[in-house]
Structure 1
């Protein structure tokens, strides 16, 4: 039986124990051509991703990979944007149902676990297919502080101090691992400013690009006194002026 015979069926393993349709979903994440990075610090969790406008006739403001899920939880989704929007809608629905049932907002880890369970079901039934996306969730947990989780198409999720997904995932992960040595020895401070600067530095480094404000998106959830938003601790997206200010700050630092 050839490989083409096995990859026609989602629920049939190859002799090597592989599910090709699930592997194709993982390949779709990197084929989207963008990279996303998420980092959590002492009181802040940050998401940053590229914004690519493929056609000059497109309205750039309608193109986004960062979404607000609950008042305190946000997500960046890398991969097929149609799958991403469907997943975001389901994530919001699950969070709203939790709020209605229990009377308080769902925590980032509980939401990540729920979406991972749903993704895993998508790999079990022939009438479904795994979504070609990786979702990174960040938010503020009242007990644990900033949290970062990534959910993949196979239904695996785990918490991270820093994580990347997309085309340059490997390069970004290597960059973050090297930088984390500075965090552990105390030479790099991950306060609100430190987290934002590290995220921008990571994305710029692995993409070898000096980004303009319109070429990236940044989402932040922070309880820092420096947070300028109306509701500290709530997830929000930075506007273009704020992104430009941080890009300039990082550029001058270099």
Structure 2
């Protein structure tokens, strides 16, 4: 979420309610594209009604679908939503999008395993903001990383990286450069 904190809370509550209602009605989790379309429709109604204040928040939705794989959608306050391979929100959004577009040109997705994708995200932030990050200055969340119990395969659950794991990625970036 990028924008007003109060509007972000209202939007998240609405999205949770929509997803819960969908699951209750149909018996399976709401696909990311369906939720993005629903939120965009709600945002669009808010922009047209004179007695309603438009929500000042851009929403980024991420999911891993059983059939379609990873999905990334972004909804803006005007009711426009679109799917992406990679996206950014907030200040310096266009610079980040240009950097990601340059790195991912003619590719279906970011190449490599989860470690390389995290390194791409960190290096994009570092380049756009002209800052060298330290391990305590970043928070990174991933889906599809290594199993926490050490078994083979990827973990489908969302988890945040520890400071040590972030430091390993920062070291790999500095060694590569």
TM over 0.5: yes
Q: Does the 8 A contact of 2:47 with 2:54 survive in 1?
A: yes
Corresponding residue number in structure 2 for 1:218: 140
**What is the CA distance between 1:248 and its match in structure 2?**
2.8
Corresponding residue number in structure 2 for 1:87: 11
Indicate the RMSD between aligned Cα atoms, in angstroms.
2.2
**What is the CA distance between 1:229 and its match in structure 2?**
4.2
Structure 2 counterpart SS, 1:94: helix
Cα displacement string for residues 51-84 of structure 1 (whole angstroms, at most 9, x for unaligned residues):
xxxxxxxxxxxxxxxxxxxxxxxxxx11122211
Q: Does the 8 A contact of 2:85 with 2:108 survive in 1?
A: no
Distance 1:185 1:154 in 2: 28
**What is the CA distance between 1:197 and its match in structure 2?**
1.1
Q: What is the aligned counterpart of 1:100 among 24, 27, 30?
A: 24
Cα displacement string for residues 105-142 of structure 1 (whole angstroms, at most 9, x for unaligned residues):
11111111111111111101112111111111111011
Q: What is the aligned counterpart of 2:94 among 170, 187, 195?
A: 170
Corresponding residue number in structure 2 for 1:208: 130
- 5 Å-filtered alignment, 1:31-110, equals 77-110=1-34
Corresponding residue number in structure 1 for 2:155: 232
Unaligned runs of 5+ residues in structure 2 are none
**What is the CA distance between 1:213 and its match in structure 2?**
3.0
Q: Does residue 158 in structure 1 map to residue 77 in structure 2?
A: no
Unaligned runs of 5+ residues in structure 1 are 1-76
TM-score by length of 2: 0.87
TM-score by length of 1: 0.62
Asked which structure has the greater RCO (Cα within 8 Å, sep 6+), the reply is 1
Change (3 A) 1:121 1:179: same
- 5 Å-filtered alignment, 1:177-216, equals 177-181=101-105, 184=107, 189-216=111-138
Q: Does the 8 A contact of 1:138 with 1:221 survive in 2?
A: no
Structure 2 counterpart SS, 1:209: coil
Corresponding residue number in structure 2 for 1:251: 174
Distance 1:144 1:128 in 2: 36
Distance 1:94 1:142 in 2: 20
Structure with more helix by fraction: 2
